[in-house]
């Protein structure tokens, strides 16, 4: 049968099924010709049909095939000059993935055919390679985007109620005994009933998923039997990775949508970790898989002194060219697609400063930020930046504009230094506890701007943070030279796992203290998956290549791990129950309406307010943070202020217990200064305190509430448990 070919339209880009036929549109500014190649099977080397695109509008090559249907495999061959010295790397022997493909068949099959040049030639003598790459390049797939969303819509959880849980789609479920085997490691496994129950019982409100865009497994990893487990090597900005689909090709889009819809129904937002700063095509010696062969000079930043080479702000070999309007369009179209078609609730941008580099420096007034801010679709989603890259001036914590939140690396470092016992950290710790106004207020943002975290996918787990002082990355096959060397960790006497009961108990106390610090800090907490259950990677602080039990969450827990999980659940419940722990605005250090006290007062062990000398003391390792109940800025649905409780947080990072005098406030009973201990990370005994002094154990956090809680039974002096979630949500 002769295939009918109509002119088609230049927009939208990509392959679009309209219920009758498929429109194909591909941007290339510098190409001399474009061939659309159709395939019958995903593994075919030779195309079943090749269609020369004769229509070109505004640098977009396009056609319409009324006989094409969803499920059609396709790719492109793009003609033009092979002149790397001028930035052009066209080679029609290489099949190319559509940058707008909504589905991609799978992993690439490595061979020299994937390279546009003859592998083995010297840099100055590189010539185009004539071998066909179609057998190793994944095919793009036409999809039918129809899906029954029902009444699904954005949850719009306020930042001050958001608890982010960073996790990996596969790693969360691969070892879960109650997830059906056929669902483990998949989108559907992540939204299965056992997982929903777990997330809800933990109390988190948003899942931040490590990259789920289709990505490239680096050749050097594949040849060593390893993989790019984290997925920070995208090749398809619109395509959910097929490796997380239960039934493989053709189902990844619907199964991703089903996951989002199911998580939403359970009250959980979905945030995607997205990698728009580079692609998996690598540097000037990397493979030609997509944009490098479609229009290298338009899509990538090239060195002006020699366009053979790529400007690398990412450490991965290339950087997307955010100076070109079509590249910006690609990123923006992708973001809108994931919001409008896939219903996600936000994004975490990997190496975000790369996207804001105009000529060279990071620019808060860059075109990228301007376009992001005016876009009505993105106005309703969460925007989180990883605010650093490897380029000059790449550390940009605090410099992003309004509407953006940021991973607060200074929070991470301050908390780690404080709890490993470094001297002179009290002042820094206070700033981080209070929401880091010194970092974020100058950009006219509120407390929400600080995404607080202690650990993340990159680096030690929480358990390893208190168990190792040296990285142990031998399994990565890089002679333990990869990963960070300065982890601000402490092993507390033994490197790695130990049977020493005293060290084990101390490490668990410190994990409880870390988690309590995270829960009680102003800002938005982010918990790395498995930290609540003392997950270990056995000292590997760069487990990006480990798709195995090193990175998969272990659901078989010891008693101490079960205790830590229960403790985390209670900490999160307390944060949600007490509005003063999750304010929307920064503290002012001034008296608030309805109280004679400051909104926040910093207390030393004798119960008095810290002075300038105290702040400068290098020996101080204990800190009290008194938050007045009137300092709550919570409002109900009608905008009325919600009352709060006065709380005291005490932290002792020293090696010895400290007697801490509780501030004398006007109590509910005449002549009594009543404080209720709600958390003590060193002890399970949680009595009512009437004597005005508490013993704060070494390496411990204590949370106290002033007066008998109006929501709790009066005179409950023997209370040993934290308030239940139900009890606390009477606010």
Contact 95, 289 (CB under 8 A): no
Buried b (16+ CB within 10 A) or exposed e, 700-709: bbbbbbbbbb
Encoded tokens for 410? 């200074």
As separate numbers, helices (DSSP H) first and strands (DSSP E) second, the chain gives 16, 29
Residue 669: active-site member: no
The catalytically annotated residue of 113, 345, 350, 464 is 350
CA distances from 720 to 125, 308, 570, 659, 724 (A): 76, 68, 13, 21, 12
Query: Which residues does residue 63 pair with via DSSP β-bridges, in sequence order?
Result: 24
CA angle 223, 228, 233 (to 5 degrees): 115
Query: Which residues does residue 352 pair with via DSSP β-bridges, in sequence order?
Result: none
Coil, strand or helix at 390: coil
Distance CA 234, CA 217 (A): 9
Contact 604, 696 (CB under 8 A): no
- What is the Cα 561 distance to its own chain's centre? 24
Encoded tokens for 305? 């002194």
Strand pairing category for 524-528 and 164-167: parallel
**Residues 6 or more apart in contact with residue 377 via CB below 8 angstroms:** 335, 336, 339, 340
Sign, CA torsion 528/534/540/544: negative
- Candidates 436, 539, 529; CA nearest to 487 is 539
Residue 361: active-site member: no
- What is the Cα 396 distance to its own chain's centre? 17
- What is the Cα 34 distance to its own chain's centre? 37
Coil, strand or helix at 14: strand
The catalytically annotated residue of 386, 464, 645, 697 is 386
Report which DSSP code applies to 598.
B
Q: What contacts 24+ positions apart, CB below 8 Å, involve 585-594?
A: 585/446, 585/447, 585/633, 586/434, 586/435, 586/437, 586/441, 586/446, 586/447, 586/522, 587/434, 587/435, 587/437, 587/522, 587/631, 592/628, 592/630, 592/631, 593/630, 594/630
DSSP symbols for 336-373: HHHHHTT---EEEETTGGGGGBSSSSB-TT-HHHHHHH
Residues labelled as active-site residues: 350, 386
């Amino acid at each position: 049968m002769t295939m009918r070919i109509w002119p088609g339209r230049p927009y939208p880009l990509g392959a679009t099924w309209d219920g009758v036929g498929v429109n194909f549109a591909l941007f290339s500014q510098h190409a001399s010709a474009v061939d659309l190649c159709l395939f019958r099977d995903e593994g075919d080397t030779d195309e079943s049909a090749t269609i020369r695109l004769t229509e070109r509008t505004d640098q977009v090559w396009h056609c319409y095939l009324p006989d094409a249907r969803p499920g059609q495999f396709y790719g492109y061959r793009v003609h033009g000059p092979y002149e790397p010295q001028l930035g052009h790397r066209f080679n029609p022997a290489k099949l190319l993935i559509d940058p707008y493909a909504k589905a991609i068949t799978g992993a690439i099959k490595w061979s020299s055919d994937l390279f546009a040049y003859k592998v083995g030639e010297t840099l100055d003598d590189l010539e185009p390679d004539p071998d066909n790459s179609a057998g190793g390049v994944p095919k793009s797939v036409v999809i039918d985007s129809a899906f029954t969303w029902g009444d699904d819509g954005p949850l719009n959880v306020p930042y001050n109620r958001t608890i982010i849980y960073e996790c990996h789609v596969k790693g969360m479920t691969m070892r879960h005994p109650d997830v059906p085997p056929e669902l483990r490691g998949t989108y559907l496994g992540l939204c299965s009933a056992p997982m929903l129950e777990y997330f809800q019982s933990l109390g988190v409100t948003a899942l931040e998923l490590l990259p789920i865009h289709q990505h490239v497994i680096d050749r050097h990893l594949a040849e060593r039997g390893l993989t790019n487990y984290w997925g920070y090597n995208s090749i398809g900005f619109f395509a959910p990775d097929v490796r997380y689909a239960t039934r493989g090709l053709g189902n990844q889009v619907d199964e991703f949508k089903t996951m989002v819809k199911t998580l939403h129904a359970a009250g959980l937002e979905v945030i995607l970790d997205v990698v728009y700063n580079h692609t998996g095509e690598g540097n000037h010696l990397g493979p030609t898989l997509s944009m490098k062969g479609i229009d290298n000079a338009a899509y990538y930043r090239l060195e002006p002194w020699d366009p053979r080479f790529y400007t690398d702000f990412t450490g991965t070999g290339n950087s997307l060219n955010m100076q070109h309007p079509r590249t910006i369009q690609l990123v923006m179209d992708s973001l809108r697609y994931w919001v409008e078609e896939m219903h996600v609730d936000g994004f975490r941008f990997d190496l975000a400063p790369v996207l804001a580099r105009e000529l060279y420096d990071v620019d808060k007034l860059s075109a990228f930020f301007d376009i992001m801010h005016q876009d009505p679709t993105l106005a309703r989603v969460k925007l989180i930046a990883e605010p650093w890259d490897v380029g000059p001036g790449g550390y940009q914590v605090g410099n992003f504009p309004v509407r953006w939140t940021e991973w607060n690396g200074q929070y991470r470092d301050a908390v780690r230094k404080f709890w490993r016992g470094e001297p002179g950290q009290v002042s820094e710790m206070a700033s981080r506890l209070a929401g880091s106004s010194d970092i974020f207020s100058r950009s006219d943002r509120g407390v929400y701007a600080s995404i607080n975290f202690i650990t993340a996918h990159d680096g030690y787990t929480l358990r390893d943070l208190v168990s190792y002082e040296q990285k142990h990355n031998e399994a990565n096959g890089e002679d333990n030279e990869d990963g960070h060397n300065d982890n601000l960790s402490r092993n507390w006497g033994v490197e790695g796992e130990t049977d020493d009961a005293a060290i084990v108990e101390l490490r668990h106390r410190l994990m409880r203290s870390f988690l309590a610090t995270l829960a009680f800090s102003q800002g938005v907490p982010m918990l790395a998956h498995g930290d609540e259950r003392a997950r270990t990677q056995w000292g590997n602080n760069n487990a990006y290549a480990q798709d195995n039990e090193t990175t998969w969450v272990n659901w078989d827990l010891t008693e101490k791990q079960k205790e830590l999980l229960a403790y985390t659940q209670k900490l999160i419940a307390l944060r949600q129950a007490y509005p003063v722990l999750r304010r929307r605005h920064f503290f002012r250090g001034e008296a608030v309406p309805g109280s004679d006290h400051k909104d926040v007062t910093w207390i030393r062990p004798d119960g008095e307010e810290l002075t300038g000398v105290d702040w400068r003391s290098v020996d101080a390792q204990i800190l009290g943070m008194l938050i007045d109940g009137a300092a709550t800025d919570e409002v109900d649905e009608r905008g009325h202020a919600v009352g709060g409780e006065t709380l005291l947080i005490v932290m002792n990072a020293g090696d010895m217990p400290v007697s801490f005098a509780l501030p004398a406030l006007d109590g509910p009973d005449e002549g009594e200064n009543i404080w209720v201990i709600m958390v003590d990370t060193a002890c399970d005994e949680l009595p009512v305190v009437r004597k005005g002094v508490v013993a704060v154990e070494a390496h411990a956090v204590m949370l106290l509430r002033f007066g008998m809680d109006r929501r709790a039974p009066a005179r409950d002096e023997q209370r040993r448990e934290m308030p239940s979630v139900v009890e606390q949500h009477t606010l």
